[in-house]
Amino acid sequence: MIGGGQIARAHVLGYCSLPLLHGLDSLKPNFSIIAEINTNLAKQAAKRLGFEKWSDNWKSVTRSGNVDLVDVVTPTHLHYEPVIDAVDHEKHVICEKPLATDSKKAREMYEAAKKAGIVHMTGFNYRRLAAVTFAKKLIEAGKLGKKIYQFRASFQEDWGANPKMYYTWRYDAVKAGAGALADLGSHVIDLARYLIGEIKMVCGAQGTFIKERLLAPNKEQSNLKPPGKGKVDVDDSTMALLRFENETLGRIEASWSAQGRKVSLEFEVNGSDGSIYYNLERPNEIKIFTNDGSVDQQGFRTVLIGPYHPYGSSMVFPAPGVGLGFEESIINELYELVRGIEQEKGSGVTPSFYDGWKVNQVIEAIQNSNLEQRWVNVPAQ
């Protein structure tokens, strides 16, 4: 593993759960080495997460003879180099989202991985929520009708509305590529592509509400005064209209400045004969409307997600309506990854670096649309 921050812990929990929940001994991980630039954190992370060794140099991971799979959980500007090096050393790789700070780098990462024939995954874990995979099945089976007319999705959080939140890499365009659009919007764009198809054109509007933030004080100094301020050059909020290749119309939103919203990821799909609505704040439920022509029984039904839905056989407590959420999305994502490695699936495991690259292209198109104040085409290749 490269990076020992907040998402590293979620990935380790995911790997540890594979043999327990998916029942295959061959999925048992061996945590060989973790690289983390902050040496204190590296030592702590190795001990707490159960790695045999630690290092402050990521090449110790990408070039280790004991490593089959490299898991990149560093800030976005630190994805490209370790991923390319890992691929060059024929390791399988999972890299967190967004894949890169720009689509050119993302494409190079995808092409290198494809050429090497290794298994590659971008960390769009929300695809692997049971309810979302189920929604995809319903759409593919035509349960919403022959045509999908509309897709609307939004990911809202509120920590960025706090002006006292210190400046971090997420507020720096060079390190993050974009703000809320990259951090939260990348998940929404992935869901749009997963559920509906490729996006042809976008029309975006972006805003930065808090333009500078205090730098975090250095904890090793006795004086805990912030050493200055950092300029925020990314979006706090993005809204965009979409036209899909299949003529579906879409609207997406991503913001970390929506007071009261914690992890509100929601989407609605409207087809010619039915609709689906989902919100991660109620992760065990999906609302479905299918038009049976009756006039006296209209309205959405709430379906409780459980053992009869995707990944249902791995539920800890196999009862509909309880116990699923963010952690399961990571466990299911890593299950697809590790099973793909076992079955030597190469580029056949999704969401792959290809998906990561396509999402980076849409992010860029939205940024260009906002700057140029017009609709912008997403490149077909």
Ligand X SMILES: NC(=O)c1ccc[n+]([C@@H]2O[C@H](COP(=O)([O-])OP(=O)(O)OC[C@H]3O[C@@H](n4cnc5c(N)ncnc54)[C@H](O)[C@@H]3O)[C@@H](O)[C@H]2O)c1
Does 276 bind ligand X (CB under 6 A)? Our answer is no
Indicate the residue among 78 and 135 with the shorter CB distance to ligand X: 78
Indicate the residue among 59 and 143 with the shorter CB distance to ligand X: 59
Indicate the residue among 180 and 240 with the shorter CB distance to ligand X: 180
Does 268 bind ligand X (CB under 6 A)? Our answer is no
Which positions from 117 through 156 interact with ligand X, judged by CB under 6 A? 123, 125
Return the axis-axis angle of helices 130-140 and 326-342, rounded to nearest 10°. 70
Does 181 bind ligand X (CB under 6 A)? Our answer is no
Return the axis-axis angle of helices 6-22 and 39-49, rounded to nearest 10°. 20
Which positions from 217 through 256 interact with ligand X, judged by CB under 6 A? none
Does 7 bind ligand X (CB under 6 A)? Our answer is yes
Does 55 bind ligand X (CB under 6 A)? Our answer is no
Q: What is the smallest separation between the CB atom of 65 and ligand X, expressed in angstroms? A: 20
Letter string b/e over residues 43-76, b meaning 16 or more CB atoms within 10 A of that residue's CB: eebbeebebeebbeebebbbebeebebbbbbbbb
Rg (CA), the chain: 21
Q: How many residues bind ligand X (CB under 6 A)?
A: 22
Indicate the residue among 56 and 90 with the shorter CB distance to ligand X: 56
- 268: β partners: 152, 277
Count CA atoms closer than 13 A to 147's CA, side-chain side. 9
Q: Residues with Cβ < 8 Å from 31, sequence gap 6 or more? A: 1, 12, 15, 49, 50, 51, 52
CA angle 359, 181, 156 (to 5 degrees): 120
Task: Give dist(CA 161, CA 102) in Å, integer.
Answer: 26
Q: Looking at 67, 73, 315, 337, which residue binds ligand X (CB under 6 A)?
A: 73
Task: Give dist(CA 139, CA 196) in Å, integer.
Answer: 8
x-or-dash string of contact with ligand X, 333-372, rule CB under 6 A: ----------------------------------------
Indicate the residue among 99 and 148 with the shorter CB distance to ligand X: 99
Interacting residues toward ligand X by CB under 6 A: 2-7, 35-38, 41, 58, 73-76, 78, 96-97, 123, 125, 183
